[in-house]
């Protein structure tokens, strides 16, 4: 999920008073030493960032023209302040006579790293913020009318529920196409502006383009090559999963709607973006006589509330020796969809840069998937709390993937059958055997392995766009080249140059880098194995539950409390003993499943690199509708009213 306060920094008008009365020279108080400047930066920036956070929170939890305008104005105020601080930091960094310590130089470099706020042309900076906000608003307000009678569904919860539950090929295809027509297709001109303005802004900082700037956050010149090596290591596991799922889907829908190229039509995988496939687990479950490890119905039977879901996550972290959530967290978080106003439902964790003020924004649903998402988001909050005493510039993850990996590492332990039995969500009599283990690993693979090429390719596309290798007239064509080649997914219907399917994904329009999620899916298994070793666990990795183990908690805390005060390899070494990203633990976790898939698939796996020229249409009568369309529409109405039917995407 997006840690929004790393992205959505704005300020309210009153913060300009902070700047009044400063005697400035080159952006800082005259005669300051580096130590004095860093102390002043901390003192003045912290209250500003709190006001920034409040402005952003209001905009995301109550989308109005007034709040949106205030949000744009806020970002301009922040940019003005950031530029002053950047200028002073650069003065110190360039002064050869100063004997800066490692810590001073690191802090000054981070202060000088101000993202697109480096744009000194006020008109261009304002336009950039306006463009991003307009794209987000189009995305949040888009809806698809499924028939002439006016059954119009927003993404959350209506379209998401339809994609999850329907087995009617044509309904899925219509929803898939409709969402892209009503969201991405309307933003292509805006996105071209965004690319141009963002590139110009970061070039002021000395970067080639925005993609180059994003990659610089990983502190290695070989980052792009490093993630390519990781992807190649993991590709065989994905290829075998893909081919097994393709065969099962052909049995459900009939082979005639599948292209001869070996691709899976994008609308059949239970998710609007085909990024995770756990919603079709009932169709691909290897052993039908063994239950799926989904505790949704048991949660409902036990009367779980949304608050109880968050208390369950809190209990896990507390069992490791972490602190409980603060009182302010419970008072000010938005844990379910409110009535009577538009909000951004995409789940996110917020550091409000004020003592004890941490929040989650989420339209939570009572189900298994959201229980895991709650643990993920609370992982962000725990990270915030653990590095709260670091200097302000270090209050970030060691690298962008770290923040995303923490909660997911916990969720790997939470999802084990052993843990679900411990907390009473799985009946004790359901003992695991080899077939049940394969079912469990399949469910996990539909979440973790299915995501890998998607998490990898989004920024492959954006890096190419930012570099200028992919011009606007080729935006959609290159997008589908990547999806067909790397993911083995083909469009539900024929796509053209006028379509703009990348912008049907939130992170594209919201200016959020995505490779962090691919990185986090590798890191979380490294962290998980390290926690299991610390806990003294010696069995198969996929069965490890380190709940209630303080030694595992101490391993975590030794890394998380550092924030970004040290280069990320040093932070990772504190927990894992390794200084590099390693796909080995992920492969180890899924090794029994890979052996099973190899036997099942034989030589029948893989797909052609090129997209099919004409995607086969749905055939009359293919599939079945688990929930009839009138039922989906009803669910949407209920969901909007009560906020209890959303099935949020993990990332």
Q: Which residues are annotated as a binding site?
A: 218, 376, 380, 404, 516
* CA-closest candidate to residue 276, choices 441, 158, 448: 448
Residue 252, token pair as written in the block:
């459900």
Whether 419 is catalytic: no
CB atoms within 10 A of CB 617: 16
Q: Is 131 helix (H, G, I), strand (E, B) or coil?
A: helix
Torsion of CA 239, 245, 251, 253, to 10 degrees: -100
Q: What is the DSSP string of 404-446?
A: HHHHHHHHHHHTSHHHHHHTTSS-TT----HHHHHHHHHHHHH
370 vs 347: CA distance, rounded Å = 10
Binding-site residues for Zn(2+) sit at 376, 380, 404
Q: Is 284 helix (H, G, I), strand (E, B) or coil?
A: helix
Q: Are 503 and 182 in contact (CB under 8 A)?
A: no
317 vs 322: CA distance, rounded Å = 5
Q: What is the DSSP string of 7-54?
A: T-----GGGHHHHTT--EETTEETT--HHHHHHHHHHHHHHHHHHHHH
Residue position matching structure tokens 């391993």: 555
207 vs 289: CA distance, rounded Å = 56
The dihedrals phi and psi of 366, each to the nearest 5 degrees, come to -85, 90
The dihedrals phi and psi of 55, each to the nearest 5 degrees, come to -65, -45
Binding-site residues for chloride sit at 218, 516
Q: Are 393 and 110 in contact (CB under 8 A)?
A: yes
Whether 346 is catalytic: no
163 vs 636: CA distance, rounded Å = 12
Q: Which of 346, 375, 377, 403 is flagged as catalytic? A: 377
What are the residue numbers of the active site?
377, 507
């Amino acid at each position: 999920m997006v840690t929004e306060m790393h992205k959505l920094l704005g300020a309210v008008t009153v913060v300009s008073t902070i700047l009044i009365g400063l005697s400035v020279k080159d952006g800082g108080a005259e005669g300051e030493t580096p130590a004095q400047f860093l102390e002043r930066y901390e003192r003045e920036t912290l209250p500003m960032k709190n006001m920034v956070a409040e402005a952003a929170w209001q905009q995301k939890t109550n989308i109005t023209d007034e709040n949106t305008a205030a949000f744009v104005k806020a970002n301009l105020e922040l940019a003005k302040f950031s530029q002053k601080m950047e200028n002073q930091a650069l003065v110190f960094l360039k002064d050869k006579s100063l004997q800066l310590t490692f810590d001073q130089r690191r802090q000054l470099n981070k202060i000088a790293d101000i993202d697109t706020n480096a744009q000194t042309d006020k008109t261009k900076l304002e336009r950039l913020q306006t463009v991003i906000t307009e794209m987000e608003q189009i995305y949040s307000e888009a809806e698809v009318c499924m028939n002439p009678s006016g059954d119009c569904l927003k993404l959350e919860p209506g379209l998401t529920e339809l994609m999850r539950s329907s087995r009617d090929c044509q309904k899925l295809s219509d929803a898939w196409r409709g969402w892209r027509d009503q969201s991405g297709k309307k933003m292509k001109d805006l996105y071209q502006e965004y690319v141009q303005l963002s590139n110009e802004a970061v070039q002021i900082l000395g970067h080639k383009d925005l993609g180059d700037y994003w990659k610089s956050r990983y502190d290695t010149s070989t980052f792009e090559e490093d993630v390519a090596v990781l992807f190649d290591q993991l590709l065989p596991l994905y290829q075998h999963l893909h081919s097994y799922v393709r065969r099962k889907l052909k049995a459900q829908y009939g082979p005639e709607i599948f292209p001869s190229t070996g691709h899976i039509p994008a609308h059949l995988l239970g998710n609007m973006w085909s990024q995770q496939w756990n919603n079709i687990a009932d169709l691909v479950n290897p052993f039908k006589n063994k239950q799926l490890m989904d505790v949704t119905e048991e949660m409902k039977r036990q009367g779980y509330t949304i608050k109880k879901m968050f208390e369950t996550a809190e209990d896990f972290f507390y069992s490791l020796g972490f602190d409980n959530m603060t009182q302010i967290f419970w008072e000010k978080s938005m844990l379910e969809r409110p009535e009577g106003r538009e909000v951004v439902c995409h789940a996110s964790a917020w550091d409000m840069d004020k003592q004890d003020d941490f929040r989650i924004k989420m339209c939570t649903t009572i189900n298994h998937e959201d229980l895991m998402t709650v643990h993920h988001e609370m992982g962000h909050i725990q990270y915030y709390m653990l590095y709260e005493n670091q200097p302000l510039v270090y209050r970030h993850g060691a690298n962008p993937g770290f923040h995303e990996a923490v909660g997911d590492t916990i969720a790997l332990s939470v999802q084990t059958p052993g843990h679900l039995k411990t907390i009473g969500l799985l009946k004790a009599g359901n003992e695991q055997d080899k077939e049940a283990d394969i079912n469990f690993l399949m469910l996990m693979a539909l979440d973790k392995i299915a995501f890998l090429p998607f998490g990898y390719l989004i920024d492959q596309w954006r890096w190419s766009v930012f570099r200028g290798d992919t011009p606007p007239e080729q935006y959609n064509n290159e997008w589908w080249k990547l999806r067909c080649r790397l993911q083995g997914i083909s469009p539900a219907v024929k796509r053209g140059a006028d379509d703009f399917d990348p912008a049907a994904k939130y992170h594209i329009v919201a200016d959020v880098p995505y490779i962090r999620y691919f990185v986090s899916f590798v890191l979380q298994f490294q962290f998980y194995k390290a926690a299991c070793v610390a806990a003294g666990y010696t069995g198969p990795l996929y069965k490890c539950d380190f709940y209630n183990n303080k030694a595992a908690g101490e391993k975590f805390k030794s890394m998380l409390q550092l924030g970004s005060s040290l280069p990320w390899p040093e932070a990772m070494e504190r927990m894992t003993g390794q200084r590099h990203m390693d796909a080995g633990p992920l492969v180890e976790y899924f090794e029994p499943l890979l052996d099973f898939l190899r036997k099942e698939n034989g030589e029948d796996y893989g797909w052609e690199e090129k997209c099919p020229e004409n995607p086969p249409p749905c055939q009359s009568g293919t599939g079945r509708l688990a929930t009839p369309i009138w039922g989906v529409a009803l669910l949407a109405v209920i969901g909007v009213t009560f906020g209890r039917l959303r099935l949020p995407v993990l990332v």
